[in-house]
A = this chain, B = another copy of it.
């Protein structure tokens, strides 16, 4: 799902990934991490899409909220597992959302 209007300024973590062929436990772990992220203080939403590459964007109230999520113990273990097994390559970008616009077809 698309994350609807949020009120800037807030933060986005753009996580762009290429997976390996070893995807044992990947799908259920990704689902678990999304559920866990939603429980964190300052979480605002998540968007995800994948075909040749995967893009997951999580939205947060503040840099402090992103740091707290980064330091979550279960998340840290899973991140290490991700580098060992599932990710061929990734790039993670921390961004401040300054402006936004939305459109929805009414007809």
Q: How large is the interface on A (under 10, 10 to 19, 20 to 34, 35 or more residues)?
A: 35 or more
| Cα(A18)–Cα(B4), bound, Å | 12
| Cα(A91)–Cα(B5), bound, Å | 7
Residues of chain B within 8 A of A51, CB atoms compared: 49-51
Closest to A102 in B: B91
Q: Contact: A93 with B87, CB < 8 Å?
A: no
Closest to A5 in B: B91
Residues of chain B within 8 A of A99, CB atoms compared: 93-94
Interface assignment of A12: CB less than 8 Å from any CB of chain B: yes
Interface assignment of A65: CB less than 8 Å from any CB of chain B: no
Interface residue ranges of A81-102 to B (CB < 8 Å): 83, 87-102
Q: Contact: A88 with B100, CB < 8 Å?
A: no
Residues of chain B within 8 A of A103, CB atoms compared: 83, 87, 89-91
Interface assignment of A36: CB less than 8 Å from any CB of chain B: no
- The 10 residue pairs across chains A and B that have the minimum distance between CB atoms: A95-B95, A49-B49, A93-B100, A94-B99, A49-B55, A89-B104, A55-B55, A2-B16, A91-B102, A96-B96
